[in-house]
Amino acid sequence: MIAVGLDRQSFVVGLGGGVVGDISGFVAAIYHRGIPHVQIPTTLLAMVDSSIGGKTGVNTRDGKNLIGAIYHPLLVIDDLDVLKTLPGREFNQGFAEIIKHAVIADAKMFRMLQSWKAGEAPVLQRLIRRNIEIKSKIVAKDERDETGERALLNFGHTVGHAIERAGNYRKFLHGEALSLGIVAACAISIRRAGLSPDERDAIVDLLRKFELPTTLPKNFARDKILDALKVDKKFEGGKVRFVVTPGIGAAHLTNDVTLEDIRKAIRDL
**Do the domain assignments include residue 1?**
no
Whether residues 66 and 164 fall in one domain: no
Here the CATH number for the domain that contains residue 214 is 1.20.1090.10
Whether residues 35 and 69 fall in one domain: yes
Q: Among residues 37, 64, 92, 97, which one is catalytic?
A: 97
Its pTM stands at: 0.93
Whether residues 117 and 247 fall in one domain: yes
Q: Does the annotation count 97 as an active-site position?
A: yes
Residue at a domain's end among 66, 81, 96: 81
**Do the domain assignments include residue 163?**
yes
Cβ-Cβ contacts under 8 Å for 178 (sequence gap 6 or more): 93, 96, 97, 100, 156, 157, 160
Provide the pLDDT for residue 231: 67
Provide the pLDDT for residue 118: 76
For the chain, give the DSSP string.
-TTTT--TT--EEEEESHHHHHHHHHHHHHGGG---EEEEE-SHHIIIIITSS-EEEEEETTEEEEEEEE---SEE---GGGGGGS-HHHHHHHHHHHHHHHHHH-HHHHHHHHT--S--HHHHHHHHHHHHHHHHHHHHH-TTS-SSSGGGGGTTHHHHHHHHHHTTTTSS-HHHHHHHHHHHHHHHHHHHT---HHHHHHHHHHHHHTT---S--TTS-HHHHHHHHTT-TTEETTEE-EEEEEETTEEEEES---HHHHHHHHHH-
Whether residues 74 and 97 fall in one domain: no
Q: What residues of the chain score a pLDDT lower than 70? A: 231-239
Q: Among residues 84, 120, 146, 218, which one is catalytic?
A: 146
pLDDT tens per residue, range 196-209? 999 999 999 999 99
Q: Does the annotation count 150 as an active-site position?
A: yes
Residue at a domain's end among 49, 81, 113: 81
Provide the pLDDT for residue 176: 98
Q: Among residues 37, 64, 130, 135, which one is catalytic?
A: 135
- In Å, the largest CA–CA distance within the chain is 59
Q: Does the annotation count 154 as an active-site position?
A: yes
Residue at a domain's end among 46, 81, 116: 81
Here the CATH number for the domain that contains residue 18 is 3.40.50.1970
Domain of residue 150: give its range. 88-268
**Do the domain assignments include residue 6?**
no
Q: Among residues 165, 174, 200, 241, which one is catalytic?
A: 174
**Do the domain assignments include residue 73?**
yes
Provide the pLDDT for residue 35: 98
Q: Does the annotation count 174 as an active-site position?
A: yes
Q: Among residues 64, 130, 161, 165, which one is catalytic?
A: 161
**Do the domain assignments include residue 4?**
no
Q: Does the annotation count 157 as an active-site position?
A: yes
Q: Among residues 150, 165, 200, 241, which one is catalytic?
A: 150
Of 107, 251, 250, 228, nearest to 162 by C-alpha is 228
Whether residues 214 and 239 fall in one domain: yes
The total domain count for the chain is: 2
Q: Among residues 100, 101, 157, 241, which one is catalytic?
A: 157
Q: Among residues 37, 64, 92, 154, which one is catalytic?
A: 154
